[in-house]
Structure 1
Amino acid sequence: MGPRGDRTVQVLGIPFAVLILAIFLMMAASVPLGIIAVLGEGQGRGIDVPEIGFFVGGIGVALPADIGLEAALIAFWAANALFFAAAILGPGRLFFRELRGTGGGEPSSSYVIAAAKWFSVIVLASLIIGAVQDAVGIPTEPPPAENELVRFFEVTKASIVEELGFRVILVGVPMYLLFSDRHSARHLLQSLWRPGENLRADKRKALLVISAAALVFGIAHITSGEPWSAGKFAQATAAGVIIGWAYFRHGLVAAVVIHWATNYFLLSYAHILAGAGEIVDAFLHPVLQSFEIIFVVAGAVSVAIMLARR
């Protein structure tokens, strides 16, 4: 990084830290508020989940469960909340200490800072892709759901099962086979937990693996189970590349938190703001519109800092 890039990073460091802090606080608040708001609606009473769908290398696998919908939702919510707590606590310095260094232009190893940064980049990329597709008449419509609690359960579950099925299986395992210089169960688990730290990977080859997995991720969104419309392919593929790169650089904790944020975070606030109204209308609420502006600006600042550091 030259003098000009160094100055750019220092100038953008404080705005970046402020934006990341704002996103972190919104994420943290959504963790309890979302589950309370959704369960309070009472839509899950009497609904059972006969099986839990997983992905193994992009192939859907259903495991018998026979559990109540609310209990299943709480279980996956708790798993995601544990990943979020792990992101705050590590690695290295605690989040707020790490954030102070980031404001001074220092690079960060924090899981939660990485998650907030790459989440904002995904929002920016998705909005750009969505705008282009809307302009040429390619819609992006979600699959139908029995009710909003079922939809909330599916998006909460997705951050766990899809990160294991797509990032760990389709990115972590191939990278271990390609780049590992020693073979043991312990090193395998370490490599799957945080590939970039435990494998001597060629970044170009790693990006090819990530891109191939992202294509499978995009295809799965428009073909598996009750799929999205075709417009989701480009957005999901782009998100797959971004989350895959974050998984490679920062590990599974960051990847799960990014995925959970894209699914659970905004939908939580939509449920809170919708009240007795329609969830889709809540996304037009000024609060969520303001959130979106923060995410887009944070995404743009994050991209600018990354380009300046090249």
Structure 2
Amino acid sequence: MEKLGAHKKTLNSLLALAISILLILIVATIIFSFILGPYIVFNTEEGRQIEGEIDYYYIFVVGFLLVFPFSAVIQQQFISEWVMYIAIFTILSFSGEKTLTKVTKDSYREGVGSFFRNDLSAAIAIFSITAVLVLAVDIVQTGVGIPSGTLPETNSAKLVATITHAPLSEEIGFRLSIIGLFALLTIRGWRTGVPAIEFLLTPLPALKKSQSYVNFKGRVWHLFLPLIVGSALFFGFAHIAPGSVWEIGKFSEATIAGLMLGIAYVFYGLGVAIMVHWAFNYYTNTLYLFEENVYNLNLSTFSDMFILALGTILILYYVVKVLLPRTKKEK
């Protein structure tokens, strides 16, 4: 038994080392993508084509699209939101139980679970897991003839600006204003004393700070689970609603992504959910668009490999972790 325990500990440490290397590589490509976005929007021929072009500002509230009666220059809106993502990325790297650098240093000793003790590494882990799940569903659906659709051909600079705005708008509209707002209305009756703004930004962490948390923690999942599922279904339907560019297969893919984004929001907060969504929209697409329109670095291929490797390792690790104790009990 002691030898088995030692082997498990060694394997866990080696997995943590592999994850740590992949995490560092993904963070490096993320930082590089931050540079590529403004280059595409401002320094390419297609970027010059949209100079001075304006668009109406929109946001989602409780899953419904609201278009505000004021417009903004597309490039100016992009750069202001780009700065917000830089700020979120930086804040998340220092928030959580540990900083990002501390997590990577301690992971070999503490194991795989340590990566969920920093908000940025948790966001990257959740993103990678979601990417693997969505890809698996896409492969199955394509195999049986269920199309998901593709983004229409458009100006690449304008596309980067559009996909940069979506995570902020949609996380407010599908996570904060559905899960957060409805959960807040419910817990007001529990007399938790949790500040409303803090709860909306970080639902479960805010609840856990409450002195009365032990009195109602058994009810927490009865509260959050239906809201996470409902928000995810709403998110899935929104992707195939009339006027959408996507086809029927996108419903299941967006619903799975919505479930993971809901979990990210509840467990970690709005910042982590936004960063996961941003990774799907801006991070991966910016690498592709730069290589298509400017110069082929092959970085998107390596980025995909890192993401899929990390997601697969984490999924297999937690599947084994859940199934192994059950197998022992049956014996």
Q: Fold conserved (TM > 0.5)?
A: yes
Does structure 1 residue 38 correspond to structure 2 residue 41? yes
Once the two structures are superposed, residues 270-291 of structure 1 have per-residue CA deviations (whole angstroms, 9 ceiling, x without a partner) of 12212359xxxx7xx8432332
Larger radius of gyration: 2
User: Are residue 97 (structure 1) and residue 109 (structure 2) matched?
Assistant: no
**Runs of 5+ in structure 1 lacking a partner?**
none
How far apart, CA to CA, are the structure 1 residues paired with 2:242 and 2:283? 24
Query: Quick check: 1:153 aligned with 2:158?
Result: no
The aligned residue for residue 296 of structure 1 is: 308
When residues 308 and 137 of structure 1 are mapped into structure 2, their CA distance, relative to the original with a 3 A threshold, is closer
Larger RCO, structure (CA 8 Å, separation 6 or more): 1
Deviations 1:225-267 (A, max 9, x none): 5432222111111000011101111111111111101100011
User: Matched residue of 2:149: which SS?
Assistant: coil
Q: Secondary structure at the match of 2:50?
A: coil
Classify the secondary structure of the residue corresponding to 1:223: coil
* Matched AA of 2:54: D
What SS is found at the alignment partner of 1:65?
strand
Give the counterpart letter for 2:170 in structure 1. E
Instruction: Give the distance between the partners of 1:212 and 1:98, measured in 2 at CA.
Output: 33
Q: How does 1:257-272 map to 2 (within 5 A)?
A: 257-272=275-290
Which whole-Å CA distance do the structure 1 matches of 2:153 and 2:33 have between them?
22
Within 2, Cα distance between the matches of 1:286 and 1:65? 40
Unaligned runs of 5+ in 2: 208-216, 323-331
Identity of aligned residues (%): 24
CA contact (8 A) 1:196 1:248 kept: yes
Say which SS state the counterpart of residue 240 (structure 2) adopts. Answer: helix
The alpha carbon displacement at 1:8 in A equals 5.0
Tell me the matched-pair count. 301
Q: What is aligned with 1:78?
A: 83
Q: Which amino acid aligns with 1:27?
A: I
Once superposed, what is the RMSD of the aligned Cα atoms?
Answer: 2.4
On the 8 A contact 2:41/2:75 being kept in 1, the answer is no
Contact 2:14–2:108 (CA<8 Å) still a contact in 1? no
Cα offset for 1:157? Answer: 0.4
Whether the 8 Å CA contact 2:137–2:253 is kept in 1: the answer is yes
TM-score of the pair, normalised by structure 1 = 0.88
TM-superposed deviation, 1:7:
5.9
Q: Specify the alignment match of 2:138 in structure 1.
A: 130
Q: Following TM superposition, by how much is the alpha carbon of 1:183 offset from its aligned partner in structure 2, in angstroms?
A: 6.3
Do 2:93 and 2:99's aligned partners in 1 also have CA atoms closer than 8 Å?
A: yes
2:125 aligned partner:
117
Counterpart selection for 1:172 from 167, 180, 189:
180
Cα deviation, 1:165-199, whole Å, max 9, x if unaligned, reads 11101111222233453366x61111111111122
Which residues of 2 match residues 1-310 of structure 1 at below 5 A?
Answer: 9-41=12-44, 42-49=48-55, 51-104=56-109, 105=111, 106-107=113-114, 108-144=116-152, 146-179=154-187, 181-182=190-191, 187-199=195-207, 200=217, 202-203=220-221, 205-223=223-241, 225-275=243-293, 286-310=298-322
